[in-house]
A and B are shown apart, each in its own frame.
Chain A
Amino acid sequence: MTAADPGPTPSALVARVAGGDEDAFRELYRLCAPSAYGLALRVTRDEHLAQDVLQEAFSDVWAQAGRFDPARSSARAWVTMLAHRRAVDRVRREQADRDRTERWASGSGERPHDSVAEVVQLRAEHRRVRQAMDSLTRLQREALDLAFHGGLTHTEVAARLDIPLGTAKTRIRDALRALRTELEEEL
């Protein structure tokens, strides 16, 4: 594929996957796996778990492709959603692993293992998203991170931050709302 040929869009690929097109599935994987894997790593803090999550998520992609509605969301958002659910399911099932949240809270897990996972070259849009994250208040970012990357329920977010449940809900929503505003032009 050349630079002049961006190839099929993820949405078009999902439609082909729904028809059982394995080549399309492979191409969709190549397009979306780095995001999904990066997310799975951040949530699970474990390469092996993240790889299992990625595989489960793409099994879901394959199985549920027929129900993807491009009018409702982008394919990337859909794949991200599936991957996040699998990641969260996985860490909640391994709830005994308290160390995970401890590590997360202490920040030591902030970056997944770069040694084994080659980090994709950052592009301008990634920087833009990171800037948007930086524009959140510390309280907003904390709540969103605990929920989205920490895999905590909002009840657990509230307990961890020692704030009322209603406040936790509001902070998560406010964070998303602020990001939406910041990113309005790119999304």
Chain B
Amino acid sequence: MSTDIHELVGAFATDALDDAERAAFGAHLADCADCRAELAAYREVLAAVAGAHPVLPPAELEDAVVAAASATTTAGMDRPDEQAVPGGGTRPHDPSAPAAEVLPLRRARRAGTWLGAAAAAAAIFAGGILVGRQGAPVAPVAPVAAGDLASVVAVASAEDAHFVGVDILGTETRVVTSDEMGKSALLASDLPMPAKGMCYQVWQVTEAGEMVSAGAFTPDGDGHLAVVLEGGTAGVAKYMVTLEPPGGSAHPTGEMIAEVAT
């Protein structure tokens, strides 16, 4: 062999070795300070090469990445890794068993930036939700917890999820519905805060013209709103949005500000 094992350092740095060679070179690294130093230098070179072609990822990815990473694993508690090998050498273990379970991005992506809004809203949502079904007096319930994001994402990433745009006071919001799940969710960013403690209340309008509250909501301070609407989806002909006093109303009393057919 005309090339000795030191020669593999370049291919190792570029992840161009097969498994057996990688293992052999990893073992060699433990004993070879020269190769460790050379590898470290090449890693910096490759970081510079990668850094010379930066591309901003889609904005909504940030929340998904943070949520996926932090929700599923404790920081720094992962399996032994390559830094156990001098020079930082092995590959991630079984690539089919990633460190953290990741959100099904491919599907969630269909919701586009609305999921970004959902994530942001769920993370920092501070308002209260009032729920009123069947015309009963509404009772305050806890503000949307971060956990609700999972529900919104679940609806938005369902196979049959479909979105309709709704203009609320000049802000484009979306209602996403999954008939399969029998759920719908409202997603908005830049939604103005209603005046004087008023809230937005969403109403399901049945084909018979009956109106049933699907919840009363306020956006957070940044105008984000991401909530799963109350009630199922069967028999819903359209949604209407009214402005209601704090706590919402048993029946629509305020101005109708938006209407959308499902």
Do A and B make up one complex?
A: yes
Using CB atoms and an 8 Å cutoff, list the residues of chain A in contact with chain B: 17-22, 25-26, 29-30, 33-39, 41-42, 48, 51-52, 54-56, 58-69, 72-74, 76-86, 88-90, 93, 112, 116-120, 125-127, 129-130, 133, 144, 147-148, 151-155, 157, 166, 168-170, 172-177, 179-180, 183, 186-187
Which of B13, B42, B52, B75 is close to A19, meaning CB atoms less than 8 Å apart?
Answer: B75
Docked CA distance A78–B88 (Å): 9
Q: Are B102 and A84 in contact (CB under 8 A)?
A: no
Q: Assess the A154–B53 pair: CB atoms within 8 A.
A: no
Give, as a whole number of angstroms, the nearest-CB distance from A58 to chain B. 5
A169 to B78, CA, bound (A): 32
B81 interface contact, C-beta 8 A: yes
Beta-carbon contact of A59 and B42 below 8 Å = no
Query: Contact at B106–A25, with CB atoms within 8 Å?
Result: no
Contacts between the two chains (Cβ within 8 Å), count: 265
> Shortest CB–CB separation between residue B45 and chain A, in angstroms?
5
- The complex places the Cα of A157 from the Cα of B83 at a distance, in Å, of 27
Hey, which chain A residues are within 8 Å of B43, CB to CB? Answer: 73, 77-78, 80-81
A-B contacts, 21 listed (Cβ < 8 Å): A33-B62, A35-B50, A35-B54, A36-B50, A51-B105, A52-B106, A54-B61, A54-B65, A56-B99, A59-B73, A61-B69, A73-B43, A78-B88, A80-B43, A81-B43, A85-B91, A117-B57, A129-B48, A152-B16, A172-B14, A177-B10
Given contacts A34-B54, A37-B56, A72-B40, contact A172 B75 (CB under 8 A): no
